[in-house]
């Protein structure tokens, strides 16, 4: 992708800074409402993968590793339905992530809402929902701007 695109973050930095502040608020809401970084990063990675956002997927994999996720768990995210490595909370969060990412298909169906509501409190549900809204917004900005994801230097690879 050698085509140069408008980077919304550079062309209108005030809007991007507001979105970044929103994302920080969402992080605070997650922490205050019992959503740890491990669970939050699983959601962020999955939304980014579903949207095809390689830039955000890399960023959130790095954050997930810092939050204590291991590489096996991270590699299982795309196939979470077939994998036995995720807890009920993680599975419900992944289900919610898919509903928010593909919101135009069915919204958040009653089935998903009831499943997630049976696992999370109202505050946890709200925190995870805002996390999904936040990452989906970033994914759209980054994909539209075709933010580059170059190979890492050999010393930075795990």
Note the pTM of the prediction, 2 decimals: 0.92
Q: What is the largest distance, in Å, between two alpha-carbon atoms of the chain?
A: 47
Q: What is the pLDDT of residues 116-139, one digit of tens each?
A: 999 999 999 999 999 999 999 999
Q: Name the nearest CA neighbour of 137 among 44, 65, 66.
A: 44
In the predicted structure, residue 23 carries a pLDDT above the cut 90? yes
In the predicted structure, residue 5 carries a pLDDT above the cut 90? no
Instruction: Kindly give the residue spans of alpha helices, DSSP state H, lying in 4-82.
Output: 8-11, 13-32, 37-51, 54-66, 71-76
pLDDT at residue 1 in the model = 45
Confidence of residue 7 (pLDDT cuts 50, 70, 90): confident
Q: What is the pLDDT of residues 73-127, one digit of tens each?
A: 999 999 999 999 999 999 999 999 999 999 999 899 999 999 999 999 999 999 9
Confidence of residue 42 (pLDDT cuts 50, 70, 90): very high
Q: At what angle do helices 37-51 and 122-145 cross, to 10 degrees?
A: 40
For the chain, how many residues are written?
A: 158
Q: Name the nearest CA neighbour of 42 among 23, 69, 81, 79.
A: 69
Q: Name the nearest CA neighbour of 89 among 29, 34, 32, 26.
A: 34
């Amino acid at each position: 992708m050698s085509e140069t695109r408008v980077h919304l973050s550079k062309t209108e930095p005030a809007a991007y800074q507001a979105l970044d502040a929103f994302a920080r608020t969402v992080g605070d809401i997650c922490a205050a409402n019992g959503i740890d970084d491990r669970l939050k990063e699983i959601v962020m990675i999955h939304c980014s993968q579903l949207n095809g956002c390689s830039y955000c997927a890399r960023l959130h994999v790095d954050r997930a590793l810092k939050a204590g996720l291991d590489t096996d768990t991270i590699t299982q995210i795309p196939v979470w339905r077939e994998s036995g490595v995720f807890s009920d909370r993680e599975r419900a969060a992944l289900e919610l992530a898919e509903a928010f990412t593909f919101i135009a298909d069915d919204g958040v169906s009653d089935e998903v809402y009831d499943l997630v509501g049976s696992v999370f409190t109202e505050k946890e549900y709200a925190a995870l929902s805002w996390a999904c809204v936040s990452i989906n917004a970033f994914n759209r900005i980054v994909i539209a701007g075709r933010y580059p994801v170059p190979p890492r230097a050999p010393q930075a690879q795990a």
